[in-house]
Amino acid sequence: MVKVLIVDDSAFMRNALTAMLSSDPEISIIGTARDGQEAVEKVALLRPDVVTMDVEMPRMDGITAVKHIMAATPTPVIMVSSLTVDGAKATLDALDSGAADFIPKNLSELSVNIVKIKEMLIDKVKQIGKQGAKRRAMRPAPAPGMAGRPVEPPKPLVVSRHTGQRRVTIVAIGTSTGGPRALQDVIPKLPKDFPVPVVIAQHMPPNFTKPFAERMNFLSQMTVKEAEDGELVQNGVVYIAPGRGHMRLTRRRGIETVISISEDRETFIYRPSVDALMSSVAEFFPGRALGVILTGMGNDGVKGLADMKKGGSRIFAQNEETCVVYGMPKAVVDAGLADKILAIEEVAGEIVNSV
């Protein structure tokens, strides 16, 4: 049973979220809170497995509440976010502060898709809650008087000098739930003179990918940008697939690699699709690409990475212990596609060692 605390200053939203989540027999609503301060107090008292957190609230906002919760009683938090550009920036701030993921706040405006939204909400709460509970069970209890998680010094980036012909000419990364934080543990560690392009499919709504790319660009030594249809792929640049469609690589005049963005739904469940990106990489860079699958729900990426593997490319997967949700990497590992299974802290170094 996944125990949930719902935090929102709107009675309508508290009731709507309670009704949706309570419909699943594996979820128990153990309490609600009307603002961030009450949320911090109830997390410490009730010890939920998951918290759904509004962003804007009186007394204490959601971002501040997340910071307090992560410092005192680390608990998976799912932000309930507006799908506007401003809402995206606030949500990214919350993810930086330790929140695990987000769901759209505009539930009342999405009545046509309410069944899909409900299924997504329930699935995220269950997956994130169970993974968080498992991680807490594996982690020893803190010493008396020591609140929160122990602070560990950052591990140095381990890079070995590769001599001879370059093995990898492009890096392709796929991720979903927990991906923004995971990518911040990888991309900013890549050097400014990284010699190949990096293409990323991160499941995100349309208004989120550009602010996310801008934030990553500010944090990184490499240039990071939201990909544009028809632009030439250049070495040393990170391209993040826009949330409005699916990103693929294609060839122009037979020699230039360019980006293609399709806004059709096609047959893919998730947008932007990891499978679509990876399959195109497999087609145009057979045996010369590195595929990386990070934290996320579901199995998006398995087919595309299988295509890459058939062509002779290598595949890395994030390990269970450092995933917010061990879904996408697990599917890749279970399919026998992973050449290496890595903690998130090791991923950047292994990428650099491969080019």
Active-site residues, by number, are 176, 203, 300
Do residues 59 and 32 touch, judged by C-beta distance below 8 A?
A: no
For residue 6, give every residue at least 6 positions away whose Cβ sits within 8 Å of its Cβ, in sequence order, or none: 14, 17, 18, 21, 29, 31, 32, 33, 51, 52
Distance, in Å, from the CA atom of 33 to the CA atom of 166, rounded to the nearest integer, reads 55
Compute the half-sphere exposure of residue 193: CA atoms within 13 Å on the CB side of its CA.
0
Do residues 279 and 286 touch, judged by C-beta distance below 8 A?
A: no
DSSP characters over 273-320 = -HHHHHHHHHHHSTTSEEEEE-SBSS-TTHHHHHHHHHTT-EEEEE-G
Three-state secondary structure call for residue 260: strand
Distance, in Å, from the CA atom of 311 to the CA atom of 200, rounded to the nearest integer, reads 20
Which amino acid is present at 38?
A: E
Three-state secondary structure call for residue 213: helix
Distance, in Å, from the CA atom of 276 to the CA atom of 273, rounded to the nearest integer, reads 5
Three-state secondary structure call for residue 346: helix
Distance, in Å, from the CA atom of 41 to the CA atom of 56, rounded to the nearest integer, reads 18
Instruction: Write down the H helix ranges in the chain.
Output: 11-22, 36-46, 62-72, 85-96, 114-138, 179-184, 206-219, 274-284, 302-310, 328-334, 344-354
Distance, in Å, from the CA atom of 246 to the CA atom of 186, rounded to the nearest integer, reads 22
In the numeric block, the tokens 């360019």 are attached to: 258
Distance, in Å, from the CA atom of 165 to the CA atom of 269, rounded to the nearest integer, reads 38
